[in-house]
Structure 1
Amino acid sequence: MSFLNFNKNKKVYNETQNNGARLITFVEPKNVISEQFRTLRTNIEFSGELVDNFQIIMITSPEMSDGKTMVSSNLAVTWAQAGKKVLYVDADLRRPTAHSTFDLWNTNGLTTILAKGDQPREIVKKTFIENLEVLTSGPVPPNPSELLGSNRMTPLVKWMRNNYDIIIFDVPPVLAVTDAMVLRQHTDGVVITVKIGKTLKANIKRTVENLKMADTKILGVVERVDRKEEKDSAYGYGYGYGYGETK
């Protein structure tokens, strides 16, 4: 598997639960990191060429803090910058961040649509980025998996397909909870994010096996690299097609 890697000072990735993800592709579109995300976008499009009606992409990870939100939000920006009408869905109902990332209210969202039958057009929010709209998580529910697997999800997904070119689902880690496995039936493919030096190889293998057993198309793997060199810290992202052997 080949990866495209690059370095950047740690402050660029100072993402927290309270502050959301750093939208480097919006703040610094000419940065080498932004170009890397555009390359990732193109590679995902190539991987999805064999999928009929390729629109809905699920971004997940084996474990927490593997960088899935950083990847999903910046990918959404790059597709919007390419002229696609994009919907970013914060389907992580346990640790939502989209409202912080895009500076939005989270008093309603995905959970209120699924629990109360709210109309999505009234709930989806515009952002400061042209062509990009966001469906925040809404209030954190006591039963995330049950809500995501409810009957209201199917018509909601149909509405998304009819109104957007690209829909990105940011979902919880596969091995932490069942949410990703519940949602995979509504998606056209999944991208797995891992963090080198942190994510256990055994957990990466289990994640891939679980998704394959559920007949989910794996579009690729995004590798986040953290390296400490002398007094500095460096971060990187890379993209590889498919998935190689995990030992």
Structure 2
Amino acid sequence: MAASKNKKRLLDSKRKLVAKYDPKSPISEQYRTIRTNILYSSVDEEIRSLMVTSSGPGEGKSTTTGNLAVVFAQQGKTVLLIDADLRKPTAHYTFKLSNTTGLTSVLTNQQELMEAVNKMDEDNLYVLPSGPIPPNPSELLGSKAMKQFMERALEEFDLIIFDTPPVLAVTDAQILGNLCQGTILVVSSGKTDKESLIKTKELLTATNGRLLGVVLNNKKIDKKGSYYYYGAN
């Protein structure tokens, strides 16, 4: 039973991290296109902190976060992917890590940043899981400790990418949006409704969050058989 579960997790990881396990695929090329768009989104300053979010659950934000982290690392940047979904974290599953320590451990002074991060087998890529789920996620993310954490992380890494909870579910993404230089909004084709998307944009911009762009996810293409891909709008 244990062997079967481990095999399933490995297959799920390979399916989600397509930029790592199948870098020549059309999907991986789309992620590299998104990377390029992000790099050219700011002429005057280098983007060093990003947040990836969505309107609601199940739209592919965590998969998008993981693959963006991979393609930026493949470019040579030292990248820290942080699972800032302190309610339903998933990064430790995707990257096959323990979640006994992580972001919450650092923010509560139980562990130093560089002790908590995990060096991945992909060159230049580091992952910080959420750590134990706290009783007060929003307060923790909006704390002075979080600002100090950001300053420390930017000393060690070229790029920080946060995976956050959906905007319409809780206020966590709005809090982090105010700390990051840019936000990527993931939209699932045929699932995200227009009203939710407009409300999400309003909430992000209300807290001075900078929306860099929208990633259209799960768009079905009928060319020599149907497949799904990720694209940027």
Where does 1:210-229 land on structure 2 (aligned, <5 Å)?
210-227=203-220
- Note if contact 2:105-2:111 (Cα within 8 Å) is conserved in structure 1: yes
- Note if contact 1:226-1:233 (Cα within 8 Å) is conserved in structure 2: no
Name the residue aligned to 2:19: 25
Q: Deviations over 1:51-83 (max 9, x none)?
A: x35200000011111110111100000011011
Task: Tell me, in whole angstroms, the C-alpha distance in 2 between the residues paired with 1:158 and 1:147.
Answer: 16
2:147 is the alignment partner of 1:144: no
Cα distance, 1:155 vs structure 2:
1.1
Name the residue aligned to 2:31: 37
SS in 2 for 1:186: coil
SS in 1 for 2:106: helix
TM-score w.r.t. length of structure 2: 0.89
TM-score w.r.t. length of structure 1: 0.84
Provide the aligned length of Structure 1 versus Structure 2: 222
Name the residue aligned to 1:99: 92
Task: Tell me, in whole angstroms, the C-alpha distance in 2 between the residues paired with 1:215 and 1:137.
Answer: 25
Task: Tell me, in whole angstroms, the C-alpha distance in 2 between the residues paired with 1:62 and 1:93.
Answer: 17
Question: Which of these residues, 116, 121, 129, is aligned with residue 122 of structure 2?
Answer: 129
Task: Tell me, in whole angstroms, the C-alpha distance in 2 between the residues paired with 1:109 and 1:119.
Answer: 10
2:159 is the alignment partner of 1:166: yes
Cα distance, 1:150 vs structure 2:
1.6
- Note if contact 1:48-1:189 (Cα within 8 Å) is conserved in structure 2: no
Task: Tell me, in whole angstroms, the C-alpha distance in 2 between the residues paired with 1:137 and 1:178.
Answer: 17
Name the residue aligned to 2:202: 209
SS in 2 for 1:72: helix
SS in 2 for 1:59: strand
SS in 1 for 2:144: coil
* Higher RCO (CA-CA < 8 Å; seq separation 6+): 1
Say if 1:228 and 1:34 are closer, same or farther in 2 by CA, change over 3 A.
Answer: closer
Cα distance, 1:154 vs structure 2:
1.0
Q: Deviations over 1:186-229 (max 9, x none)?
A: 10010000011111110000011111122211100000134497
Question: Which of these residues, 86, 109, 119, is aligned with residue 116 of structure 1?
Answer: 109
- Note if contact 1:77-1:129 (Cα within 8 Å) is conserved in structure 2: yes
Structure holding more helix per residue:
2
Task: Tell me, in whole angstroms, the C-alpha distance in 1 between the residues paired with 2:219 and 2:160.
Answer: 29
Where does 1:78-93 land on structure 2 (aligned, <5 Å)?
78-93=71-86
Name the residue aligned to 1:59: 52
Name the residue aligned to 1:199: 192
Q: Deviations over 1:116-153 (max 9, x none)?
A: 34211111111111100011100112211111112211
2:170 is the alignment partner of 1:177: yes
| Matching residue's letter, 1:225 | N
Superposition RMSD in Å: 2.0
Percentage of identical aligned residues: 45
What 5-or-longer segments of structure 1 have no aligned partner?
A: 1-14, 241-247
Task: Tell me, in whole angstroms, the C-alpha distance in 1 between the residues paired with 2:96 and 2:84.
Answer: 17
Task: Tell me, in whole angstroms, the C-alpha distance in 2 between the residues paired with 1:105 and 1:155.
Answer: 24
Q: Deviations over 1:15-49 (max 9, x none)?
A: 99xx5671001101111111111011000111133
What 5-or-longer segments of structure 2 have no aligned partner?
A: 1-7
- Report which stretch shifted further, 114-123 or 81-90: 114-123
SS in 2 for 1:116: coil
